[in-house]
A and B are shown apart, each in its own frame.
Chain A
Amino acid sequence: MSKQDLKKVLLMGKSGAGKTSMRSIIFANYVARDTTRLGATIDVEHSHVRFLGNLVLNLWDCGGQEAFMDSYFETQRDHIFRNVALLIYVFDIESADYAADVRYYKSCIEAIEQNSPHAKVFCLIHKMDLIADELREQALTERSDQVKSLCENVDVRCFGTSIWDETLYRAWSQIVYALIPNVQVLEKQIKQFAEVTCADEVVLFERATFLVIAHVSIKEHGDAHRFEKISNIVKQFKLSCGKVQSQFQSMEVRNSNFTAFVDQFTANTAVMIVQSDPIIQPSATALNIKLARAHFEDLIRHTAGVPQ
């Protein structure tokens, strides 16, 4: 029996920043509108999310109200900040009290440096939809630069996010990618699969969240944000199928220039294959997917389950 790989992920930020909303959308099949129902998180909410079979994300959603935050840095410090694989700090771009945000953030980083020096740090600059379109990029760059300057000896990755578009999927795909051990091995194999199927592009998604785990592009493509867009598109459709008491199993979309197949792949993944060669028969692609399944089932189980 393969060992379970447990990764502790801290989700921190001031009250109302959007931590629980994000978590609910990515892991609990909420649609953005459902999140208005969520109340304040009381102390720490723990959830275990099984990802790729043997990888288990142990999510600590830390309620951001002042009383809780203070206790995290005092009485609960060791308990919270030890053995952390990854810290996600959420900033609300429209926060009324940026100074308080900075204070808490610095305390977090300090506690992490002391207790889990190898933890990866991600900062999500959230609720970007509240900024007018034309001002968004600048606002994000400014805030990211500010955040990075606060703790210069820590490698922090910043992302702008919103629950109303695909940017949420981009950030969280990067987060889980950072947690999957040996993902490069998987990518090499996906590349071979892409070559065998004469695909322009092959993307591997985690089945429940539709976060992108790995992708290979044989043919160049202009849109760097297409992967998170696809995650968002397909995830929304998955939830829509729930309305007719069903799940979607597979899909094929085509026009004169391309064919895209999305199908369940292994027990924990789905795959998208994009082809533009008009000669390829859909049945050939379907057969290739079938034949590759067993091999990838094995590979993914070993990829995700072996601790570093």
Chain B
Amino acid sequence: FTMGKKPRVLLMGSRRAGKTSIFKTVFHKMSPHETLFLESTTMITRYDVSNSSFFQFSIWDFPCATEAEPAASDMESMLKGAAAIVYVVDAQDDLSESMPQLAKLVLKVQKHNPKILVHVFVHKHDGLSEDDKQEVYRSVSERLRSELQDESSSDFGVAYHLTSIYDYTVFEAVSRVVQNLVPHLSHLEGLLDALISKSRLDKAFLFDVVSKVYIATDSTPFDPQTYEVCSDMMDVVIDVSCIYGAGDDGDGQAYDTNSASVMRLTNGNVLFLREVSKYLALVCMMRQETADSLGLVNHNVDLFKSALKQLFEE
């Protein structure tokens, strides 16, 4: 993508699939129930997200393709200027309409901008049983592949995610989309790997506090339950800080440079959070033994924090 301009994410999909709801839930803190009251998107709407230097991009929310198909040349330039595409498919709906649409889009992307990924969100899985979820997920990828095969193409460059705004899956999926847009991602991951190794941590995430999207994690295997409890821990810190953290004159920030938290669990795990920049939080899971020498952990986090600051300034 072009340097100096914010990466652009196109948010597309079938009618009432849930595109705007996904955006509002993740980035505008809308409660999932409130999204029922959202009206259909009628024009391409651009939203800017700029919480920190690492977390800057714009999202273009499209109305349903069949109702307001942009002109071919416009479409081409939009695809060429995009850094990622999110295509939302309603898992509870009939796939026979949305799959051909998606296939057409994938072909256009492969033609005009083959380097970017199309993230397919198999959305609204919350209404389905476990078996049905797997069935739909498999069905979507199979059908897309068969549509593309007809055009002698493959689903190379397509990533699939099961999502719902009623649980963590949408945050996890958006995290993966965003990670592809984060500058210096491999450097960040390297810093996190060094941190967990030096401080004997089990897992570390770098979260954007506003959206609860994580922009980087270390290279140890990803465990959804650990991710969820770390995300929830951050929620508690932010919520409690909003109540008590404003200071005597009420002017203080709830989340400020000294924001920190330690939470001890009965199974010997300890959750740890430290502010590392204005909108970023480092959230870690460690064992009780490591937590006994928090001084060392804090020292290493201070080093991590200044390494991060240097990356900003580059």
Chain A residues within 8 Å of B, Cβ to Cβ: 33, 129, 132, 164, 221-223, 226, 229-230, 233-234, 236-237, 240-241, 243-258, 260, 274, 276
Report the separation of the CA atoms of residues A240 and B259 in the bound assembly, to the nearest whole angstrom. Answer: 22
- Which of chain B's residues 209-245 have a Cβ closer than 8 Å to chain A? 225-226, 228-229, 232-233, 235-237, 239-241, 243-245
Q: Is B254 an interface residue (CB 8 A)?
A: yes
| Residue in contact with A248 in the complex, picked from B240, B248, B265, CB distance below 8 Å | B265
| Residue in contact with A244 in the complex, picked from B239, B252, B258, B269, CB distance below 8 Å | B269
Q: Is B303 an interface residue (CB 8 A)?
A: no
B244-A164 in contact (CB<8A): no
For residue B261, which residue of chain A has the nearest CB? A253
| Residue in contact with B266 in the complex, picked from A223, A249, A254, A255, CB distance below 8 Å | A249
B241-A253 in contact (CB<8A): yes
| Residue in contact with B252 in the complex, picked from A241, A245, A252, A257, CB distance below 8 Å | A257
B229-A243 in contact (CB<8A): yes
When A233-B239, A237-B233, A257-B246 are in contact, do A251 and B256 touch as well, CB less than 8 Å? no
B226-A244 in contact (CB<8A): yes
Which residue, of A226, A229, A234, A255, has the highest number of chain B Cβ atoms within 10 A? A255
Chain B residues touching A, majority SS: mixed
Chain A residues near B265 (CB, 8 Å)?
Answer: 241, 244, 246-249
Q: Mark B238-276, 1 if CB is under 8 A from A, else 0.
A: 011101111110101111111111111111010000000
Chain B residues near A222 (CB, 8 Å)?
Answer: 250
When A246-B265, A246-B269, A252-B262 are in contact, do A240 and B246 touch as well, CB less than 8 Å? no
| Residue in contact with B245 in the complex, picked from A234, A237, A243, A255, CB distance below 8 Å | A255
B259-A251 in contact (CB<8A): no
Size of the B side of the interface (Cβ < 8 Å), in residues, is: 40
Report the separation of the CA atoms of residues A164 and B33 in the bound assembly, to the nearest whole angstrom. Answer: 9
Q: A61 CB to closest chain B CB, in angstroms? A: 25
| Residue in contact with A253 in the complex, picked from B166, B240, B248, B250, CB distance below 8 Å | B240
Chain B residues near A233 (CB, 8 Å)?
Answer: 235-236, 239-240
Chain B residues near A251 (CB, 8 Å)?
Answer: 236, 261-264
When A164-B33, A250-B264 are in contact, do A226 and B229 touch as well, CB less than 8 Å? no
When A164-B33, A246-B269 are in contact, do A254 and B260 touch as well, CB less than 8 Å? yes
Give the 10 A-B residue pairs with the shortest CB-CB distance, closest first: A246-B267, A257-B247, A246-B265, A240-B232, A251-B263, A256-B258, A255-B259, A258-B244, A247-B266, A253-B261
Chain B residues near A241 (CB, 8 Å)?
Answer: 229, 265
Report the separation of the CA atoms of residues A230 and B240 in the bound assembly, to the nearest whole angstrom. Answer: 7
